[in-house]
């Protein structure tokens, strides 16, 4: 899959995550999520932070590890979508090539952009699950995110702050639930 197609999948995925965020009511923001250290508000903030950081990475600026975003619920959907559009535009402008310096060393731009898709789909599922919403990622978005997840070695995939061990998934589960189980979530 070429870089433009990957960026199209990210653009498609963020529309769905934005739709989910747009359905939240006041009670939803403090609900726990399948991502143990985050409630709904923290997941949305984390997604906006990551998107902003990845826009910087597109331009080969250093990762802003200290970035902390608290999104106002009334502006959450708009903030998330605007940040996502800006990030996708930044990668389209610069191209998904070369390497970027990260705290652990260097990473290929392609790997970083792939992870960005995986993060949107994984945390989109977290938000939907936490708030009892449905999630409708296309088959091609989920398939690509699953391919990306499978491409990581276990040490990287299951390292601290990443994903837990794969969880059992009920027979007949949809593709996004199977991906969630692979990411250590319990569908």
Domain ranges for the chain = 3-182
Q: Is the pLDDT of residue 169 over 70?
A: yes
Q: Is the pLDDT of residue 45 over 60?
A: yes
- Cα separation of 67 and 53, whole Å? 8
> Residues 49-79: pLDDT tens digits?
999 999 999 999 988 888 888 899 999 999 9
Q: Is the pLDDT of residue 22 over 80?
A: yes
> Residues 95-125: pLDDT tens digits?
999 999 888 789 999 999 999 999 999 999 9
- pLDDT for the residue 91: 97
Residue 32 DSSP symbol: B
What band does 3 get if pLDDT is binned at 50, 70 and 90?
Answer: low
Percent of the chain with pLDDT over 70: 98
18-24's contacts with Cβ under 8 Å and 24+ in sequence apart are 18/77, 18/80, 18/81, 18/84, 20/124, 20/127, 20/128, 20/131, 20/133, 20/135, 21/76, 21/77, 21/80, 21/127, 22/76, 22/77, 23/131, 23/133, 24/73, 24/76, 24/131
- Number of other residues whose CB lies within 10 A of the CB of residue 149: 19
CATH code for the part of the protein at 3-182:
1.20.120.450
- pLDDT for the residue 105: 83
Q: How far is CA 180 from CA 2, 26, 139, in A?
A: 25, 26, 14
List, as one string, the DSSP characters of 96-146: S-SEEEETTEEEEHHHHHHHHHHHHHHHHHHHHHHTT------HHHHHHHH
- In this structure, of 30-39, 139-148, 158-167, 170-179, the range with the lowest mean pLDDT score is 158-167
């Amino acid at each position: 899959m070429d870089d433009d197609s990957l960026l199209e999948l990210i653009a498609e995925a963020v529309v769905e995550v934005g739709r989910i965020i747009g359905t939240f009511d006041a009670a939803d923001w403090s609900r726990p999520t399948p991502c143990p250290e985050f409630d709904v508000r923290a997941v949305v903030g984390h997604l906006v932070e990551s998107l902003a950081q990845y826009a910087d990475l597109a331009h080969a600026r250093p990762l802003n590890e200290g970035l902390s975003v608290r999104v106002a619920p009334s502006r959450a959907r708009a903030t998330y979508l605007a940040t996502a559009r800006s990030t996708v535009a930044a990668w389209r402008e610069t191209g998904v090539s070369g390497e970027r310096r990260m705290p652990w060393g260097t990473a290929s731009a392609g790997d970083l952009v792939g992870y960005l898709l995986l993060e949107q789909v994984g945390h989109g599922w977290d938000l939907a699950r936490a708030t009892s919403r449905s999630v409708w990622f296309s088959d091609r978005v989920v398939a690509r995110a699953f391919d990306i997840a499978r491409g990581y070695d276990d040490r990287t995939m299951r390292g601290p702050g990443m994903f837990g061990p794969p969880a059992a998934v009920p027979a007949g589960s949809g593709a996004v639930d199977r991906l969630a189980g692979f990411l250590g979530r319990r569908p």
